[in-house]
Structure 1
Amino acid sequence: MATNKEFDVIVIGGSYAGLSAAMALGRSLRSVLVLDSGRPCNLQTPHSHNFITQDGEKPATIAEKAKKQVLEYRTVHFLNGLALSGKKTGDGFVIATQADGQFYARKLIFATGISDIFPDIKGFAECWGISVIHCPYCHGYEFRGKQTGILANGERAFHITSLVNNLTDRITVLTSGKAAFNTEQVAKLNNRGIGIIETPVSEIIHENGHLKKVVLGDGQQLDFDAVYAAIPFTQHSDIPVSLGCELTENGHLKVDTMQKTTVNGVFACGDNAGMMRSVAYAVATGNLAGAMANHELTAETF
């Protein structure tokens, strides 16, 4: 770790999006500090998919390789540490960390991800990212043709079901309460033989995260191979909002097409700023955020 405290850019979050941003900046010889708390959103996910050249690779393996490559650029530095707070200064920002004091930068990039809020269902957390999944593009092919549940309701449930229907015809929607579908949606589900169960889910029986049965509140047990779940989330870091960054109505950091937040000099990338939760998306938006931070630095000094 470099002993200096001042950088062109501080990147908070050292997973795929943050490392991608750091690489773009390092290749322009910008001094960069990457702060990472070591808590990636996909900690339990066994394999990453839908990322060309890396399809099926372990997420941790991709991250380790990325970090090694990024740190080959001599102006990029990595610190294992937790960012606690941030504030605007006259010509940039100061970030306070848990154990290493304060660091200063002219620009900030937040690649901090999101924190999922798990429902009160026994076994849910242990299966998350393994057999209780969130994205047909990331996980659906591996569960093609399998007995599949959709743990959601209303428009969100209908949307996920429409995507999953192309992967399997063995689908049941688990609304955990009164179904909130309109007449047209119910007709489409019925026409495709997709069942709707309103009884709440109370437990997921599993073996090392691999789903065996879904237990309903009335004691009934259902056989499933996978369950898609639409669950709420919060921002992993509260620093962007404390700096004045706006959120979208869905809770993501609001960014423009250049990954700029609503606060000058602050960028965001990865799934803290968009609905697509994939490694490929994180890498792409991180690359853009790094390039645009460099563009702003250039415009200010050239």
Structure 2
Amino acid sequence: MQFDVIIIGGSFAGISAALPLARARRKILVIDAGERRNRFAAASYNFLAQDGREPGLIVSEAREQLERYPTVHWLSAKAQAARRTSNGFAIEIDGEPMKEGKRLILAAGVADRLPAIPGLQERWGKSVFHCPYCHGYELNQGRIGVIASGEHSMHHALMLPDWGETTFFTNSVFVPNADQSAQLRGRGVTVETTPVREIAGDRADVCLEDGRIAAMDGLFALTQTSVQIPWAEQLGCALEQGPLGQFITTDAAKQTTAKGIFACGDVARAAGSVALAVGDGALAGTAAHQSLMFGSD
């Protein structure tokens, strides 16, 4: 069977991309490896009508609704490779026959690499976060720490005082200049220059190299991201390097630099959230459908 569209990734962006195609009665295949980026978080916030719900429940409910459409096929697997064919694209999957589609939507997200501080990874999504709009409110204007991972963390530190009493742990990776120090003072940010040894405690206690412990209600840290689809470049998709890592280049309609391939969600933007991923997916799905109607094969 040749599908009209194959979607790599079945989380928020991928399912959102699939919906307009399903409603246009196009034959689509969603290939999902089950690795949602926000799988470590117990609740998803800042998403219309779903505020505070468990993200896994949102996705499972969305999948159930999607699979009610008779032209939708779902495969729980990891896409190993892809190649362009005379009729579109062929996707390789371990233990499965080759899957062929006329169009391809990449929605597999990104992988996060946290600063190498013991205890940080274990608290990721629980008391260590990356998005103030998604998790800042629940800290109830308490004690918030920002762990520096580079110069871009300065922006994080200047934002967080709207959500609580903020301490900027520069951790020997960033030294604010005079202007930046003045900005931080103006926002009421405390700057802590002693290196961080580890993160401990039930919440997010910052243990410093000099033996002091700064008890925090939550921490924010910027990650470096990498695209979860290593073969995207081989298909001709250009990648960009933003301040927080890699993402796939797209135009306003989510078309990549490779003909017939679209990308959406965190894999296709310099910053991500559930709401943005859903909007991105809807745009990519609609654009892929219109390319089937009006584009050339």
Bucket of the pairwise TM-score, normalised by the shorter protein: over 0.9
Change (3 A) 1:10 1:37: same
**What TM-score comes out, normalization by structure 1 length?**
0.93
CA distance in structure 2 between the aligned counterparts of 1:248 and 1:80, rounded to whole angstroms: 29
CA drift at 1:194: 1.5
Counterpart secondary structure, 2:31: strand
What residue is the counterpart of 1:51 in the other structure? 47
Aligned counterparts, 1:173-192, within 5 A: 173-177=168-172, 179-192=174-187
Change (3 A) 1:268 1:178: closer
> 1:96-152: CA deviations, max 9, x gaps?
012213101111000010001123222211111111000011111111411011112
Letter in 2 for 1:296: S
Letter in 1 for 2:251: D
Aligned counterparts, 1:139-150, within 5 A: 139-150=135-146
Aligned counterparts, 1:1-302, within 5 A: 4=1, 6-152=2-148, 155-168=151-164, 170-177=165-172, 179-207=174-202, 211-250=203-242, 251-300=246-295
CA distance in structure 2 between the aligned counterparts of 1:301 and 1:213, rounded to whole angstroms: 57
CA drift at 1:12: 0.3
CA contact (8 A) 2:40 2:126 kept: yes
CA drift at 1:153: 5.3
CA distance in structure 2 between the aligned counterparts of 1:68 and 1:245, rounded to whole angstroms: 31
CA contact (8 A) 1:151 1:228 kept: yes
CA distance in structure 2 between the aligned counterparts of 1:178 and 1:33, rounded to whole angstroms: 44
Letter in 2 for 1:99: G
**What TM-score comes out, normalization by structure 2 length?**
0.94
CA distance in structure 1 between the aligned counterparts of 2:173 and 2:186, rounded to whole angstroms: 20
CA drift at 1:155: 4.0
CA contact (8 A) 1:123 1:206 kept: no
Runs of 5+ unmatched residues, structure 1: none
Letter in 1 for 2:113: I
Counterpart secondary structure, 2:239: coil
CA distance in structure 2 between the aligned counterparts of 1:245 and 1:63, rounded to whole angstroms: 27
CA distance in structure 2 between the aligned counterparts of 1:179 and 1:288, rounded to whole angstroms: 38
Counterpart secondary structure, 1:252: strand
CA drift at 1:216: 1.9
> 1:209-228: CA deviations, max 9, x gaps?
xx241112333211101111
Letter in 2 for 1:274: R
The root-mean-square deviation of aligned C-alpha atoms, in Å, is: 1.6
Letter in 2 for 1:233: T
CA drift at 1:178: 5.3
Runs of 5+ unmatched residues, structure 2: none
Structure 1 stretches of at least 4 aligned residues deviating more than 4 Å after TM superposition = none
Counterpart secondary structure, 2:156: helix
Letter in 2 for 1:175: T
CA contact (8 A) 2:127 2:204 kept: no
CA distance in structure 2 between the aligned counterparts of 1:230 and 1:83, rounded to whole angstroms: 28
CA distance in structure 2 between the aligned counterparts of 1:112 and 1:264, rounded to whole angstroms: 19
CA contact (8 A) 1:174 1:197 kept: yes
Change (3 A) 1:189 1:12: same
Letter in 1 for 2:147: L
CA contact (8 A) 2:158 2:189 kept: no
CA drift at 1:279: 1.3
